[in-house]
Amino acid sequence: MRTADIRSIFLDYFAERGHTVVPSAPLPTPDPTLLFVNAGMVPFKPYLTGEVAAPWQRAAGVQKCVRTLDIEEVGRTTRHGSFFQMNGNFSFGDYFKEEAIAYAWELSTTAQAGGGYGLDADRIWVTVHHSDSDARDIWRRVAGLPDERIVARGDEDNFWSMGVPGPCGPCSELYYDRGPGLGREGGPAVDEDRYMEFWNLVFMQYERGEGPGKSGYPILGELPRRNIDTGMGLERMATLLQGKDNLYEIDETRPVLDRAALLAGVRYGADTEADVRLRIVADHVRTALMLLADGTVPGNAGRGYVLRRILRRAVRSMRQLGHRDPALPELLPVARDCMAPGYPEITESFARIADRAYGEEDAFRSTLKQGITVLDTAVTRVKADGGRSLPGAQAFLLHDTYGFPIDLTLEMAAEQGVEVDREGFTALMNAQRERARADARTRKSGAAVDTSDLRSVLDAHGPTDWAAWETLTTESRVLALLGAQGEMPVARDGDIVTVVLDRSPFYAESGGQDSDAGILSGTSVEGEVLDVQRPLPGLIAHQVRITAGELATGDAVHAAVDPEWRLGARQAHSATHVLHAALREILGPTVLQAGSYNRPGYLRLDFPWRAALSDPIRNEVEGAANRALRSDLPVGVRWMTTPEAKQLGALALFDETYGDRVRVVEIGGAWSRELCGGTHVEHASQIGTIALTSEVSVGASMRRLEAAVGIEGFAYLARERDLVAGIAEQLGAPRAELLERITGLLNRLKAADKENARLRQQATTVHAAELAGRAVDAGGTLLVTAIVEAGADDARALAVAVRERLPATVPGAVAVAQPTGVVVIAVNRAAHEAGLSASDLIKRILNGRGGGSPQLAQGGGLAADRLTDALADLPRLVGNR
């Protein structure tokens, strides 16, 4: 059964039982504590905790998830994957344990012809919390399970909470016995490889208090509304139903693995380390595809860094397997075809996805090229000085400056007979991490403040008198200074603290608008406001860096918002409303903003739409927005009740919550009318300009527009103008002919590259045929040896080309050496099956230096005058296999 069919069966089953099918949320999450959605319940968290009333009583969905905390385990175990999908059914105060258990059992065990998964009921085990006698009784009654297959476990395994005060409750997990060949008997408490967990049912029925970890906190009582949250691993169910050993071999990953093996010339299952690398490639290519599809862009921080690391690990793994050519153009389309049945939007946006991915691989290959040059120079210097170890500082320079991975440094240094001071490198890396942590604490120390300390301030002093809508300055008093260790009596020059004032003019980040910047000043202090948040309803918390003097609780201060910052923020927020209205004007009233972010000079806006906007449509949207600015539409604010706002037609966005009285912002009256708590300009013309800079996909039928606003918008247009002028000058062509001229140049370059590649391939083919004709018999193995003037990549290509020209049914081995001392060995499948290993041979002739796969390996560090002797020893080594 295909994974896409398993997904459809789940959704159809729960839809037939009154559940609203909810589409997967995009992988990037607005939750400030997460980079990506990492569990199926994350999008439902506000409803499960009671922060927001759930729009449905029953829901079901298949949520895309990414976890990277255990990325180093990917490929090494059968249970770790970076990207996975979680089937889930949810009840918000509706059904509870009995129905949840009955649904899980029925869907799992009903025959496939009857709309179920057809698992053997006699091989299913369940676990329950040791205190949950209700769940045990229900499993006996509903499923007829015997007591020995209902396993009681403790808090660590079978009690759920979010780690903070709030909802909690016992769990019941379903396991499937995959047979004695995969482990010991005795159930999941004995062996969780043989007994694979495939479904977890969480019964949210209690409220927990303060306390650490997964146990030891007090249970405060029953929840007024009990909820159900379940998670079935889609990949795990596919592993079971497709009869595979692990998640890397199911239909959504195995084709990528097979293509990678074909490109690298290795066979899956023949070598443990090669298998690990193939599994890394299969997992990471799929993960990168899904992250790119949801709008993540490779970068040096946050989500972008995670994606960059995953892409580079995939490319590096292909290199370690012996594949030196670009890999992603071969692998990413295979992953697309695997995932398209469940996510057809991937095919629609694949051109954009591929452009990002292939560009990242090209950049990394360039990085490798630079790093290899630096590494070779450093190794030559070490050898010239009579040393055998590359200093840790040099390895750190390669990593930090050139982005050269340490494992690649270790591998390539070993190929040249040099070790690496790993301890020195690790010490420098640890020092850099500690500097980064200190810098993060310095820039964002407010995040470390204990919520209970803030709650105490709110209880003692009441809500902050918040004046951001009325003024840019207030005379205020310091109610509290807070740090990671609690309340502080005084903050001094250089300290970063969370400051609570009795009155504040600063806008706290919310509704998509970034927080204000500004200063606090007093008779003996000055501080820079770095961030402003509303951690508790009614309380405004300011993160402040003290730049001069001292600040103490009770001090009087002058709080002042940076007027230029606020102006930019007002322009960007009003521009977001204008762009939203322009989209609805051009695309129709069904378009509704699904998320936004704005700060001075910049905005982004997400909206549901089935396809990329064409250039003419984008131009129409941008034109409609700027016509509103030119018309100088008035901007007004009105307060009213929620029913009045709805009757007026004001738009309320799905991810916001509102009280009984709401603030309605109008631009041009009914043209743009939205519920909003942000700051705005007074007339549309004050925005200046809105210049669209990009439009991309961020998930299933979800698009994202980005724009430069105000003075930044004009600056963006000026840069575009200067860029076009510069290109026109370089090409000596009128601007109107630029596109045609550049297209012609690119076509000529591609033709030249193709011709060069053809000539190189032709030369390699001729040389390979000549060398293959010189093969000698070495104890039943055809052996070819040669010393050639060629780069490392050309030497590898030649070795592989010669190997392919030897008879496939006769064991064959090829050794190609460079005068620099680098040797490449390739063996064909017949030789490998006869017990010959390229990686073993390379180590034997180079005294343990070098490595690679069983069919292709490389090493170095041999003096040029010893090359001939080393190659002359190969017939003996090959013949004595």
Q: CA torsion sign, 266 to 272 to 274 to 277?
A: positive
**Burial grade of 115 (CB within 10 A; 0-12, 13-18, 19 or more):** middle
Cα 499 from Cα 497, distance rounded (Å): 6
- At residue 512, the 3 state secondary structure works out as coil
What does the alpha-carbon distance between residue 175 and residue 867 come to, in Å, rounded to a whole number? 58
CB-side exposure of 812: number of CA atoms within 13 Å?
21
Nearest to 310, CA basis, from 334, 280, 271: 280
Distances, alpha carbon 839 to alpha carbons 430, 810, 843, 849, in Å: 33, 20, 6, 10
Pairwise CA distance, residues 597 & 574, whole Å? 12
Burial of 278 (0-12, 13-18, 19+ CB in 10 A): buried
Distance CA 871, CA 860 (A): 13
DSSP string, 844-865: HHTTT--EEETTEEEE----GG
Contact by Cβ (8 Å): 208, 220: yes
List the binding residues: 573, 577, 676, 680
Which residues make Cβ contacts (< 8 Å) with residue 832, sequence separation at least 6? 270, 854, 855
With a CB cutoff of 8 Å and minimum separation 6, the contacts of 136 are 128, 150, 152
Q: Which two tokens stand for residue 299?
A: 């970068």
> Do the beta carbons of residue 90 and residue 59 sit within 8 Å?
yes
Tokens in use for 296? 């993540």
Which DSSP symbol is given to 139? I
* Pairing label, strands 150-153, 124-129: parallel
Radius of gyration of the chain (CA): 32
Amino acid letter, 833: E
How far apart are alpha carbons 143 and 119 in whole angstroms?
Answer: 13
Give 192's DSSP letter.
T
Residue list, annotated binding site for Zn(2+): 573, 577, 676, 680
